[in-house]
């Protein structure tokens, strides 16, 4: 291990019950830090018997249509459905062709992901249940052929609509076409399905982020879908320059179009068995099917990942703001439970469920970043560029100051070295992307929201005890231990994002130790320069005043 690191006591006052003090934590390090792969431990409930489950019974012999199956949540949804219910009839996946890869080949590539490894053990032939439907969520009729549409209309029992462009910088017309237009097309298809039992629309808890308190209800939209598309046609090529005027109080096109999509459901799905789930900031898995599995750099994960590898040394956020993070496997369980809830309460009003953690199990951004990195010190990545140590600041001007000295100057020196040695410069371009990323997420990292989740909690209470175990989506401390979750988060980043072999762990630790000493040396040099500069300045002022 590298030299002893100072550990803020607040972590253990707020988050731990097993280790009350820093002394106890250090005393019990052998229990936390091991040389074995912490991700290899699979929770026994992952493979627990499913007898007596009402949700599993509901899923049996059902044909399911999923949009967004290529995404992070979509993959986990496919995996959980097939692993929890071996008698699911078919899963139809909407997937588009790409230039260099057809839809069928894309599906095979997705199913080769390590996230399906546990499913392979219990259902080796699970691929036989997957049916590829070539299409595009941004096209009329979802880009599906007439033949495939007829099959869906005659066969589909359940629809999970998770397709969306989550890129905050996506052009408004593209976001509108996929997030709003795709939802409208799903509603049209749903109305033609002959055996439809349930539809779940996956939105976001931040669809109404211009408000500070968000309840589980509909809010007035910024525009109707029709008005939005009329504006897009009206502005044409000048749409980009009028984008800020159109979205108004919303910080980005993603949240803006999600708000309009929800309104489209409110007015267009009154006769359908549909509900809306609003997850907060979705992060790596907690326990299922693999601990700390993640396949993207979005949001809070992107911040931790780039602090972990030493790239981010300053980050603009309010450290004391609650980071409303929700593990992806719990979100997927909630989505499936919501589908069952539609079926079991099909005569009730359309329900909205806020899947959020801050109300029952608060976690600040400081704790999220710093505790993750503390545990990550024992699982460093071989791709580390510097010792993980970042300044979290709520002041934009202070952040710019640190950005100049901790990001821009080192990046300039690095690129200069690369040019001199005959290699392509890349550090400046990397830090431009990091700055843009921080700029995009700072809106969510500097504000607090109060999310009501009474309906989500009632949905949980209405489940049978066996379903509560199989489909856990309770974010209370009893069911989600942040200390346990964060203890393996960086190990997951190391394996699933940075693709490090576990055999390289000792080499990675040696590298981290060298980076630590470099960090201490450079920090000491800068501290000495500041002390000497301050001393010289004070001496000059004293001598100048003495002469007078």
Question: For the residues 204-223, what does the mean pLDDT come to?
Answer: 95
Question: For the residues 332-350, what does the mean pLDDT come to?
Answer: 85
Rounded Cα distance between 100 and 471, Å, is 37
Tell me the per-residue pLDDT of 473-496, one tens digit each, with 9 for 90 and over: 999 999 999 999 999 999 999 999
Provide the pLDDT for residue 534: 84
Tell me the per-residue pLDDT of 74-123, one tens digit each, with 9 for 90 and over: 999 999 999 999 899 999 999 999 888 899 999 999 999 999 998 988 88
Rounded Cα distance between 312 and 386, Å, is 9
Give the three-class secondary structure for 257.
Answer: helix
- Tokens 């071989």 correspond to 382
Measured CA angle at 418 (ends 414, 419), to 5 deg: 120
Provide the pLDDT for residue 444: 94
pLDDT value at 465 more than 80: yes
Provide the pLDDT for residue 270: 82
Provide the pLDDT for residue 530: 85
pLDDT value at 31 more than 60: no
Q: Which of the four pLDDT bands, split at 50, 70 and 90, describes residue 196?
A: very high
What is the CA 537 to chain-centroid distance, rounded? 48
Rounded Cα distance between 333 and 316, Å, is 32
Q: Could you tell me if 163 and 94 are in contact, meaning their C-beta atoms sit under 8 angstroms apart? A: yes
Rounded Cα distance between 15 and 484, Å, is 9
Spatial CB neighbours of 514, under 8 Å, sequence gap ≥ 6: none
| Domains annotated on the chain, with CATH | 1-56+296-325+359-448+485-548 (no CATH), 57-295+326-358+449-484 (3.40.50.720)
Q: Which of the four pLDDT bands, split at 50, 70 and 90, describes residue 271?
A: confident
SS3 content of the chain, % helix, strand, coil (to 5): 55, 10, 35
Rounded Cα distance between 189 and 191, Å, is 5
DSSP 8-state symbol, 98: B
Measured CA angle at 113 (ends 471, 33), to 5 deg: 70
Rounded Cα distance between 411 and 324, Å, is 32
Q: Could you tell me if 275 and 353 are in contact, meaning their C-beta atoms sit under 8 angstroms apart? A: yes
Packing angle of the helix pair 365-376, 299-308 (nearest 10 deg): 40
- Tokens 């326990």 correspond to 287
């Amino acid at each position: 291990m590298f030299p002893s690191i100072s550990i803020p006591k607040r972590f253990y006052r707020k988050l731990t019950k097993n280790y009350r003090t820093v002394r106890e934590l250090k005393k019990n390090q052998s229990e936390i830090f091991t040389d074995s792969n912490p991700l290899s431990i699979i929770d026994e409930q992952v493979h627990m018997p499913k007898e007596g489950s009402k949700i599993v019974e509901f899923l049996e012999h059902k044909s399911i249509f999923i949009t967004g199956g290529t995404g992070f949540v979509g993959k986990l949804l496919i995996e959980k459905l097939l692993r929890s219910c071996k008698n699911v009839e078919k899963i139809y996946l909407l997937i588009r062709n790409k230039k260099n890869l057809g839809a069928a080949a894309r599906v095979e590539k997705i199913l080769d992901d390590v996230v399906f490894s546990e499913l392979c053990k219990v259902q080796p032939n699970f691929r036989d249940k997957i049916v590829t439907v070539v299409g595009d969520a941004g096209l009329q009729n979802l880009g599906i052929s007439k033949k495939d549409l007829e099959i869906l209309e005659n066969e589909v029992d359940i629809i999970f609509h998770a397709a969306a462009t989550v890129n905050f910088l996506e052009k408004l017309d593209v976001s509108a076409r996929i997030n709003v237009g795709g939802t409208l097309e799903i509603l049209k298809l749903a109305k033609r399905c002959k055996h439809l039992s349930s539809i779940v629309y996956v939105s976001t808890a931040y669809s109404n982020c211009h408000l500070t308190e968000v309840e589980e209800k509909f809010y007035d939209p910024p525009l109707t879908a029709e008005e939005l598309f009329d504006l897009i046609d009206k502005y044409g090529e000048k749409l980009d320059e009028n984008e800020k005027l159109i979205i108004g109080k919303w910080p980005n096109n993603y949240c803006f179009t999600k708000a309009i999509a929800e309104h489209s459901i409110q007015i267009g799905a009154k006769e359908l068995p549909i509900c809306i789930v609003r997850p907060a900031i979705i992060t790596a898995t907690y326990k299922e099917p693999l601990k700390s599995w993640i396949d993207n750099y979005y949001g809070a994960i992107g911040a931790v990942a780039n602090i972990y590898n030493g790239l981010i040394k300053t980050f603009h956020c309010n450290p004391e703001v609650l980071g409303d993070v929700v593990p992806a496997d719990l979100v997927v369980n909630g989505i499936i439970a919501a589908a069952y809830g539609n079926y079991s309460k099909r005569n009730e009003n359309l329900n909205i469920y806020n899947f959020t953690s801050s109300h029952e199990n608060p976690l600040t951004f400081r704790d999220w970043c710093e505790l993750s990195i503390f545990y990550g010190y024992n699982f460093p990545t071989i791709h580390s560029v510097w010792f993980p140590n970042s300044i979290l600041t709520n002041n934009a001007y202070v952040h710019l100051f640190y950005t100049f000295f901790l990001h821009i100057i080192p990046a300039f020196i690095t690129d200069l070295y690369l040019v001199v040695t005959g290699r392509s410069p890349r550090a400046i371009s990397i830090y431009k992307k990091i700055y843009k990323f921080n700029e995009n997420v700072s809106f969510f990292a500097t504000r607090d929201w109060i999310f009501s989740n009474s309906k989500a909690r009632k949905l949980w209470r209405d489940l049978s005890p066996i379903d509560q175990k199989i489909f856990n989506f309770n974010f209370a401390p009893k069911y989600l231990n942040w200390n346990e979750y964060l203890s393996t988060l960086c190990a997951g980043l190391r394996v699933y994002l940075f693709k490090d072999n576990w055999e390289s762990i000792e080499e990675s630790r040696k590298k981290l130790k060298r980076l630590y000493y470099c960090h201490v040396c450079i920090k000491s040099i800068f501290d000495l320069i500041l002390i000497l500069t301050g001393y010289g300045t004070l001496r000059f002022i004293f001598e100048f005043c003495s002469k007078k």
